[in-house]
Amino acid sequence: MKIKYYSLYFLFSIALVSSVILSFAPVSQICNFEQGCEIVHFSPYNYTFNIQNSHYGIAIFSAMIFLILSYLKKPGKHKRLIVNLGTIIGFLTALRFIYIQEFVLNAYCKFCMVIDISMAVALIIVLTKWKK
């Protein structure tokens, strides 16, 4: 069962690194204009309540990593439930961002997609390893 949490730890760490890059690296250094990354980055959808979405990602993925490490040290039913629900909510949020990139902006951010794919894989792990 610990393999599930080590896998989630790895996926959330990848998402955290991508969020940090999106938050602090200059867009001109991480994106090519032709790839559409700048379109996503400078769109109004990059902000929620006037805060850049990647900043939320840093906070949320850091909290999830901390929770997973706490669970690995001292497992608990409530911690497991929060990790599972957080993953499901994270995946639903990722679906929303994929929809916006595909159907609204017609442009993709490679770092955003790394986060979104990480959340999809995390959801698969959570659903296939769900303990009844």
Q: What is the pLDDT of residues 45-89, one digit of tens each?
A: 999 999 999 999 999 999 999 999 999 999 999 999 999 999 999
**Position 131 confidence tier, pLDDT thresholds 50, 70, 90:** low
**Position 15 confidence tier, pLDDT thresholds 50, 70, 90:** very high
Instruction: Indicate if the pLDDT at residue 35 is higher than 90.
Output: no
Closest by CA position to 56, among listed 3, 18, 102: 18
Per-residue confidence (pLDDT) for residue 36, from 0 to 100: 80
Per-residue confidence (pLDDT) for residue 124, from 0 to 100: 96
Architecture in CATH for domain 2-128:
Up-down Bundle (1.20)
Chain CA centroid to CA 49, Å: 18
Strands in 34-121 per DSSP E: 47-48, 51-52
Q: Which residues contact 57 (CB under 8 A, 6 or more apart)?
A: 15, 16, 18, 19, 22, 23, 115
Question: Taking the domains of the chain in order of start, what are their residue ranges?
Answer: 2-128
